[in-house]
Amino acid sequence: MDNFVFDNATKIYFGKDQIKKLPGLLTPFGKNVLLVYGGGSIKRTGLYETIQTLLSDFNIIECEGVEPNPHHTTVQRGADLCKQHHIDVILAVGGGSVIDAAKVMGAGAHYDGPIWDLVVDASKIQDVTPLVTVLTLSGTGSEMNRGSVITNTQLNIKKGTGGQNSLPFASIIDPTYMMTLPANQTAAGAIDAFSHAIENYFKADNDTFMQDAISESVMKAVIKYAPIALKEPTNYQARANLAWASTLALNGLTGVGKPGPWAVHAIEHELSAYYDLTHGLGLGILIPVWLGFILEDEMMPIFVRYGVNVWGIDSSKDDSTIAYESIDRTIEFFKSLNAPLTLREVNIDSTHFEVMAKSAVALGRLTQHLFPLDENDVMMILNQCL
Amino acid sequence: MDNFVFDNATKIYFGKDQIKKLPGLLTPFGKNVLLVYGGGSIKRTGLYETIQTLLSDFNIIECEGVEPNPHHTTVQRGADLCKQHHIDVILAVGGGSVIDAAKVMGAGAHYDGPIWDLVVDASKIQDVTPLVTVLTLSGTGSEMNRGSVITNTQLNIKKGTGGQNSLPFASIIDPTYMMTLPANQTAAGAIDAFSHAIENYFKADNDTFMQDAISESVMKAVIKYAPIALKEPTNYQARANLAWASTLALNGLTGVGKPGPWAVHAIEHELSAYYDLTHGLGLGILIPVWLGFILEDEMMPIFVRYGVNVWGIDSSKDDSTIAYESIDRTIEFFKSLNAPLTLREVNIDSTHFEVMAKSAVALGRLTQHLFPLDENDVMMILNQCL
């Protein structure tokens, strides 16, 4: 186990009706609230109305229309609103895109240059406007971490950023908000949570028992509860267990003490920088192909652990059988969620593969992974995804 | 899963040489430091000297001699020192007893009445002096939670307390500090961590997948690494994995969303209120007997999960066989750690059982457990432990 710092102060209010805590959470910061949300689904579900009622004593400025894979221009608009209206606290209501955008808006509120600077160079994120979130779609884990992924559609770059102060002050996670999600969003969120666990699981093999056990638990939770949530969208226990597993998948617990970068996310970010692709679905296409690509002798101990502990494959089988079976089981599982398994299904062809591969290796530091990937490797993976 | 709040801001600095961060962690609070420690083992190991050198720019007031099962009179002494010397920050260097005591000292520094008030009524804990800890013995989890257990030897009461502000600001966990522990302390710490997981695991059965999976992981980590740490005290990976599992066992993750009180701790607190018994060893005597006592039909699903997931017992066996086997395996494991298995071995007889049983039921709210215990039940458990 490598040395690490675990430092995560986000207060989580989990369960039904926790929204009632909202006024009390915002009050210490002030009256001027920037309400950040997406395409308006919160108006259809009634959550927007609930929040307006609860916050009738606050001055609410709205920043609507945060897109999936949020654009830096939208983040700039939010940062400008913060400055213009002397915003005291940001309230992000939505999924990972909305929360990611809100984090960088809050940093931009205290930065004089263009917002894209804060994505290119995370060290420029210093002071931030406090952030409270209300999660409506589990998966990204953004509600309890410092990270944001922002897209520059002019440059076709999708990149992660985040500062020491980027952690939400508090997040409300009410599983009932997820009961009205379309099936493909439930599936995408579930695969996203699964991907965070599997990226951390395969990125190093250095005696990190609890970290790996928690990753295995996240994957098993997704395997158990995602199919239930798809079949019975209003099943509270399924939504609750999916949500809490998603939060724990990326709040530090699965990654601390393990060195090295992730692999699949870097490649997926390239895909959704060029195409309007749902992040979780892109990951679901890439993961099985990537697993097949890295299935070499040096990775075998991790594959065997994955197969036996996550998929319950008989440990008396030989290692190679367990490894191949673990990949087959992963594919079958994503398929059972009705997730696409090829890039063709999401209308992506090989046009940009070369520049994507180059960028993924550079931005994702993929040559530093436990199983290093160069541009040719990424090209091969992308081509196999077609 | 019940509604819950997860709110744990303690910064963990984990690994070798993290002690170098100490001056930076204390500086923001001020120069006047109360150094709290136990019987002087930190002088033998050189840690005392290291800290004195690192903190040569600070004014250090010492509060030495915190006993195992810390006495309220010692806590009073520390609180008085805080007031007298205008202490800005408390530095607790030791195991759970030292950290537990330091938490209440910091609360006492801001309270005018006698310190025992803060144990009897936790709501009286309001402002506290900030606390930084350096952990030298893993097990209690006190380095990342709000709890303290304080003993009043005049009244023979050992009781838990803790306020919203009782969380350490930061804790340094360097597994190398645990390499010089006597074997019985390593064993006691391991059983203590195991006990926190098993108490949360058996206290409710309400669809809390991640919580229970983390409890199982803690128990499996202890089962894997405690024997290694006993055999090879300087094995870094064993010490590191034991330490991180111990911290995660009681920082909220295993208990959130699960209602009800614990059972074994309440009974053990009675034993060590009357006798100078190491907490972890008392738990090790009680757990197997308690498991046998609560092995009834309504608890069977939890026993089966425990047997299969923690001990790897073949799930095709019938439930009752799995359950009994899981208890046998637990006993064998504690035995393999050279932990005592009966109260006679630690020189405790039945003299105080009646009053202990009464007090455990009252203080521990044992009738509200998923498997309720009344005074007669506790008497039976204690008698079986003889």
CATH of domain B181-385: 1.20.1090.10
Among the listed residues B201, B97, B93, B190, the one whose alpha carbon sits nearest the alpha carbon of residue B139: B190
Closest CA of chain B from A19, distance in Å: 12
Handedness of CA B181, B184, B186, B188 (dihedral sign): negative
CA distance B119 to B123: 9
Which of B3, B13, B210 is facing A245, going by the closest CB pair? B210
Residue A173 phi, psi (nearest 5) = -120, 100
pLDDT in tens, A365-377: 999 999 999 999 9
Say which of A5, A208, A253 has its CB closest to residue B11.
Answer: A5
Alpha carbons A153 and A370: distance in angstroms, whole number: 31
Shortest Cα–Cα distance, A100 to chain B (Å): 21
| Under 8 Å between Cβ of B168 and B251 | no
With H, G, I as helix, E, B as strand and everything else as coil, classify residue B33.
strand
B9 contacts in chain A (CB < 8 Å): 8-9
Beta bridge partners of B59: B32
pLDDT in tens, A173-232: 999 999 999 999 999 999 999 999 999 999 999 999 999 999 999 999 999 999 999 999
- Chain B residue numbers with beta carbons less than 8 Å from the beta carbon of A209 are 217, 220-221, 224-225, 241, 244-245
CA distance B139 to B133: 14
- For B121-154, the pLDDT digits (tens) are 999 999 999 999 999 999 999 999 999 999 999 9
Query: Which uninterrupted H or E stretch holds B11?
Result: strand B11-14
Q: pLDDT tens digit string along A283-293?
A: 999 999 999 99
| Domain ranges, ordered by start, for chain A | 11-177, 183-385
- Would the CB atoms of A241 and B208 count as touching at under 8 Å? yes
- In 10 A of CB B338, how many CB atoms? 11
Mean pLDDT of A308-320: 97
Query: Model confidence over B323-379: pLDDT tens digits?
Result: 999 999 999 999 999 999 999 999 999 999 999 999 999 999 999 999 999 999 999
pLDDT tens digits along B255-278: 999 999 999 999 999 999 999 899
**What fold does the segment set A183-385 form as a domain?**
Dehydroquinate synthase-like, alpha domain (1.20.1090)
> B15 vs A210: CB contact, 8 Å cut-off?
no
Q: Which of chain B's residues have a Cβ under 8 Å away from the Cβ of A241? A: 1, 207-210
Q: What's the rounded Cα separation, in Å, for the pair B279 and B277?
A: 6
How far is it, in rounded angstroms, from Cα A315 to Cα A312?
8
The Cα–Cα gap between A239 and B209 comes to 12
Token pair recorded at residue A42:
């919160």
The tokens of B4 are what? 């819950």
Nearest to A241 among B1, B2, B7 (CB): B1
CA dist A299 and B88 (Å) reads 50
Report pLDDT for B274.
Answer: 93
Enumerate the H helices of chain A as residue ranges: 22-26, 41-45, 47-54, 72-84, 96-108, 116-120, 183-202, 209-231, 236-249, 264-274, 279-294, 300-305, 311, 319-336, 353-363, 375-385
Q: Do A209 and B218 touch (CB under 8 A)?
A: no
pLDDT value of residue A246: 98
Q: Which of B1, B237, B248 sits opposite A240 (nearest CB)?
A: B1
pLDDT score at A379: 98
Residues of A in contact with B245 (CB under 8 A): 209-210
Task: Report how many Cβ contacts below 8 Å link chain A to chain B.
Answer: 116
Distance from C-alpha of A44 to C-alpha of B283, rounded to nearest angstrom: 53
CA-based nearest residue to A57, from A14, A23, A97, A25: A23
Instruction: Give tens-digit pLDDT for A48-94.
Output: 999 999 999 999 999 999 999 999 999 999 999 999 999 999 999 99
* Structure-token pair, residue B259: 């209602």
Pairing of strands A157-161, A148-152: antiparallel
Decide if B100 contacts B70 (C-beta within 8 A): yes
Q: What is the mean pLDDT of chain B?
A: 97
Q: pLDDT tens for residues A243-285? A: 999 999 999 999 999 999 999 999 999 999 999 899 999 999 9
Query: Measuring CA to CA, which residue among A11, A10, A280, A41 is closest to residue A177?
Result: A41
Do the Cβ atoms of B207 and A13 come within 8 Å? no
Nearest to B18 among A3, A207, A224 (CB): A3
- Reported as a single tens digit per residue, the pLDDT across B164-196 is 999 999 999 999 999 999 999 999 999 999 999
Pairwise CB contact (< 8 Å): B209 & A217: yes
Our CA-based measurement puts residue A69 at a distance from the nearest CA of chain B, in whole angstroms, of 28
DSSP 8-state assignment for residue A381: H
Q: Do A217 and B213 touch (CB under 8 A)?
A: yes
ipTM: 0.97
According to the model, what pLDDT value does residue A146 have? 98
- Closest approach of A212 to chain B, Cα-based (Å): 9
pLDDT in tens, B55-90: 999 999 999 999 999 999 999 999 999 999 999 999
Cα dist from A240 to A129, A169, A243, B172, whole Å: 29, 21, 5, 33
Whether A5 sits inside 8 A of B16 (CB atoms) is no
- Per-residue tokens: A127: 């002071």
CA distance, residue A163 to nearest chain B CA (Å): 16
**Phi, psi of A93, deg, nearest 5:** -120, 105
A16 pLDDT above the threshold of 90 = yes
The answer to whether residue A40 scores a pLDDT higher than 90 is: no
Give the per-residue pLDDT at B40.
Answer: 84
A225 contacts B209? CB cut-off 8 A: yes
Q: What is the pLDDT of residues B81-118, one digit of tens each?
A: 999 999 999 999 999 999 999 999 999 999 999 999 99
How far is A213 from A218, CA to CA, in rounded Å?
Answer: 9
Question: Which residues, in sequence order, are CB contacts of B342 under 8 Å at separation 6+?
Answer: B285, B385, B386
The four Cα atoms A138, A227, A336, A275 give a dihedral, to 10 degrees, of: -10
Chain A residues with CB under 8 Å of a chain B CB are 1-9, 11-18, 207-210, 213-214, 216-218, 220-221, 224-225, 237, 240-241, 244-245, 248, 253, 256-257
Minimum-distance CB partner of B14 among A213, A248, A257: A257
Rounded CA Rg of chain A: 20
Cα A109 to Cα A67: distance, rounded to the nearest angstrom: 20
- φ/ψ region of B162 (left if φ > 0, alpha if ψ in -120 to 50, else beta) reads left
DSSP letter assigned to residue B34: E
**B278 phi and psi, to 5 degrees?**
-65, 125
- Per the CB < 8 A criterion, the answer to whether B244 and A1 are in contact is yes
Select the residue of A5, A13, A14 nearest B257 (Cβ to Cβ): A14
Cβ distance B244 to A257 less than 8 Å, yes or no, reads yes
Å between A143 CA and nearest CA of chain B: 13
* A359 neighbors A267 (Cβ within 8 angstroms): no
Q: Which residue of A has its CA nearest to B314?
A: A314
User: Which of B17, B209, B218 has its CB closest to that of A241?
Assistant: B209
Number of C-alpha atoms within 13 angstroms, CB side, residue A358?
6
CB contacts, 8 Å: A252 with chain B: none
Helix spans in chain B (H): 22-26, 41-45, 47-54, 72-84, 96-108, 116-120, 183-202, 209-231, 236-249, 264-274, 279-293, 300-305, 319-336, 353-363, 375-385
CATH fold of the domain at B11-177: Rossmann fold (3.40.50)
State how far the Cα of A356 lies from the Cα of B249, in Å rounded to an integer.
Answer: 43
pLDDT value at residue A238: 98
Mean of the pLDDT values across residues A138-158? 96
Interface of chain B against chain A, CB under 8 Å?
1-9, 11-18, 207-210, 213-214, 216-218, 220-221, 224-225, 237, 240-241, 244-245, 248, 253, 256-257
CA atoms within 13 A of residue B356's CA, in its CB half-sphere: 25
Q: What are residue A158's DSSP bridge partners?
A: A151
